[in-house]
């Protein structure tokens, strides 16, 4: 498929735009000249973000919506058509997570997470496709490295992201079969410095966090907006996550033995601050970045190279694999030592 219009000529819809990756994507799209439709549950945060964009000479509208309800998602599309005459790219970002053993999480909490992460993506995709089938454009779904991996203590999150991958792949095939001019991209971030852990429903006795290496949300936004112009099937954000996927494919039993280390890397030393999180009601002040301890990388060289495949040469790839195996060995050492952050 040929590339789409430049961003400055596009209208971009972003769900989950009140914080994290969604907010970083909306800001970056506006900075690059796109007209932006901001959608999330937190109306106060959205209004503030819209004002911020407009103060910088950008153009934006906001729609308060719960993506787990199809009527709300349809309202996002309708507002985009009314305000800007339509849209060219639709980005499904909205998502939540739950920390804790699967057997301890209530059925209601599991269902609520799936309603947002899976059904929100399904509704957003189907509503977007119904409009884009006539004019063409890009559908971009934000999955996760958890679309290919499992993490203990985030089991239903992983299940939702596996489901998002299966749905996205099947939808892409159907659109290609029908010859529709819509590109479908699945973006798979690894650990990203967003408020996701602080907004999580938490069943643990510790404050949740993310395992390293950690990347800034702008790195995911850059990948998303690249796909809005230059269609790409899948994009991993973070070379460390890509290598762990390779390890799981090559040696699944060895990956399973990392469970104690993965659990430890998801726990900080202090007790939980807000165990209820944003699973049912929006919380937070609309920040793109979280409060992750430790080092946050400036960019992912692997991801930047993957967006320009000619630059991802075999020697660099081999080097990344070596780094990943070293990381896996370190994780395995943590697993045996049972250490916590």
DSSP string, 144-181: -GGGT---TT-HHHHHHHHHHHHHHHHHHHHHHHTT-S
- How remote is the C-alpha of 181 from its chain's centroid? 24
CA torsion, ordered 125, 131, 132, 133, to nearest 10 deg: 100
Count CA atoms within 13 Å of residue 229 on its CB side. Answer: 15
Q: Mapping DSSP to helix (H, G, I), strand (E, B) and coil, where does residue 61 land?
A: strand
Instruction: Write phi, then psi, for 90 (nearest 5 degrees).
Output: -120, 125
Q: Which of 15, 169, 3 has its CA nearest to residue 91? A: 15
Beta-carbon contacts of residue 143 (< 8 Å; ≥ 6 apart): 161, 164, 165, 168, 186, 187, 188
Rg (CA), the chain: 19
Per-residue tokens: 190: 């690894």
Its sign, for the CA torsion 62, 68, 72, 73, is positive
- How remote is the C-alpha of 110 from its chain's centroid? 19
Is 99 marked active-site?
A: no
Q: Which of 30, 38, 52 has its CA nearest to residue 90? A: 38
Which of 157, 203, 215, 302 is catalytic? The answer is: 157
Helix 120-135 / helix 70-84 crossing angle, nearest 10 deg: 30
Catalytic machinery residues: 157
């Amino acid at each position: 498929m040929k590339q789409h219009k430049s961003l400055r000529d596009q209208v971009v819809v972003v769900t989950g735009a009140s914080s994290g990756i969604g907010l970083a994507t909306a800001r970056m799209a506006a900075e690059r000249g796109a007209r932006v439709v901001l959608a999330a549950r937190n109306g106060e945060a959205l209004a503030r973000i819209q004002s911020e964009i407009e103060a910088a000479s950008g153009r934006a509208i906001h729609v308060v919506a719960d993506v787990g309800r199809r009527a709300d998602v349809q309202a996002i599309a309708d507002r985009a058509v009314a305000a800007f005459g339509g849209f060219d790219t639709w980005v499904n970002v909205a998502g939540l997570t739950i920390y804790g053993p699967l057997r301890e999480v209530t059925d209601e909490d599991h269902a609520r997470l799936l309603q947002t992460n899976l059904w929100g993506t399904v509704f957003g995709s189907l509503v977007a496709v119904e409009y884009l089938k006539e004019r063409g454009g890009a559908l971009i779904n934000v999955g996760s490295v958890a679309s290919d991996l499992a993490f203990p203590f985030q089991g239903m999150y992983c299940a939702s992201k596996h489901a998002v991958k299966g749905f996205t792949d099947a939808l892409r095939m159907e659109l290609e079969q029908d010859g529709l001019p819509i590109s479908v991209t699945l973006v798979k971030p690894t650990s990203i410095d967003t408020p996701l852990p602080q907004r999580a429903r938490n069943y643990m006795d510790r404050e949740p966090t993310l395992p390293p290496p950690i990347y800034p949300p702008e790195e995911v936004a850059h990948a998303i907006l690249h796909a809005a112009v230059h269609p790409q099937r899948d994009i991993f954000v973070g070379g460390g996550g890509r290598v762990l996927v390779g390890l799981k494919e090559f040696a699944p039993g060895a990956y399973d033995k990392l469970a104690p280390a993965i659990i430890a890397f998801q726990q900080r030393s202090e007790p939980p601050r807000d165990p209820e999180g944003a699973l049912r009601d929006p919380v937070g002040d609309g920040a793109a970045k979280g409060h992750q301890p430790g080092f946050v990388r400036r960019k992912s060289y692997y991801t930047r190279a993957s967006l320009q495949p000619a630059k991802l040469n075999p020697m660099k790839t081999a080097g990344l694999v070596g780094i990943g195996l070293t990381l896996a060995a370190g994780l395995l050492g943590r697993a045996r030592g049972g250490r916590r952050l």
